[in-house]
Amino acid sequence: MNTDVSSILGTGSLMVAAAVLALALIVRGDLVPVGMREGGGRWFLGGALGVGVVAFTIKLAVIALVSTFPAQTIGAREPASRRPSVQAVAPTPVPLPAARAFRPHAWQALPEQAPAPPDNPTTADKAALGERLFHDPALSADHTVSCATCHAVRTGAGDDGTRTAVGITRTPGARNTPTVFNAAFQARLFWDGRASSLEQQARGPLVNPDEMGMPSLEAVEQRVRADATYRAAFDRAFGPGTAITIDRITQAIASYERTLVTADTPYDRFVRGDPAALSAAQQRGMWQFQAVGCATCHSGPNFSGASVLGQRAPFMPLMVERSDLAVQRGLGNDKGLAGADAAAGIWRVPSLRNVALTGPYFHNGSVGDLDEAVRIMAATQLNARVGDDPSAPSVKLWWSPETQSFMHFERRRVTERDVADIVAFLKALSSDSLVGRLPK
């Protein structure tokens, strides 16, 4: 029972007892003036006091009854000074995209080993064979181009640093070369995500006429079989007498690619417990990356919704029309997975690991600066107003004839400092080992 209620009941009980005693004395006449003892005077006083006692007793009974109710009922009866502060709750409006509820983001370090499928476990012998195949120009039609020609893993960051890939025809291709580092963590490969494994992806460039140009996958098998020095390597990797097939060739290449993991970044050290691994600007950028919404698509330890780890959201439309700069860079000319007639292109969400080392950017390689790429993504994907111009409208309005009212959308704002901080954070995703081998 509430302590305050107990004290009230105790005091009230004493008062009732005193009143009953007084009533008895009145009836005897001890407390009645001499002039009122005769006649009905004492009965009048006794009746008045008796009515008061009964009324007071009823009140005490009500208080005792209420005290047995749940605590929240008592709270409603408590003095205002003891009640918790309660504010009126207005009807909840429909949240605007810029003011939606914030959910903490779970930051994760990259595992030091990539997962492998059950039918192609990674072994040292298999990876060694794959490394040789990866660097062998004999797998191209004119013996001039290898996988490593476009994916420089020994001297570069796993890409070629050019706007678009160049193969045996010396004709620039249509799309930029993604890095092969950490590709083992991706669930979708190629810009349009048409391959679902490294084994499947490895087949494409071999027979692409503008890349390695082999006439068929059977021709690739024959080219490898013609080199007698491969026989012993295949025996070690897959067992004595194993046939040299395109499946074995691509399995070996994929096994090698699964060793190309760069978990040695300032970001990984920071997440693993080194608070000095990131500068103040990088930590601000890490927060902004989360706060403005970049982490919605570039999620998980590999910073990609198309990853085998973390939340899966592998494909996203690129809303080019929201950014004049994106239109100028021709980012809407190729529609990717959506097809040429689509209103907006659809692309696999790429990993952002080593992004500062692997420019130029986007599927057509048309953007050379990382800060420009951040501005484009903020405008196209987040529909944010980018920059410090105070005159830029923050609210987009349009008239709805159906509802006879204005509809509105409040845009996020990404300042130039936000852009600089996000770029600083993205640089913290660069592998120490790769930074050390690349020119300053």
CA 212 to CA 134: how far, in whole Å?
12
> For residues 235, 240, 241 and 243, what is the CA-based torsion angle, rounded to 10 degrees?
-40
* Residue 392 · residue 416 · CB < 8 Å: no
**DSSP letter for each residue of 394-440:** SEEEEEETTTTEEEEEEPPEE-HHHHHHHHHHHHTTS-HHHHHHS--
Strand partners, 397: 408
Q: ω before 360 within 30° of 0 (cis)?
A: yes
CA 23 to CA 267: how far, in whole Å?
86
Catalytic residue IDs: 211
* Residue 186 · residue 310 · CB < 8 Å: no
CA 140 to CA 138: how far, in whole Å?
5
Q: According to DSSP H, which parts of 67-197 are helical?
A: 71-77, 124-134, 147-150
Residue 254: CB partners within 8 Å, gap ≥ 6?
120, 130, 184, 197, 198, 199, 201, 202
CA 174 to CA 365: how far, in whole Å?
9
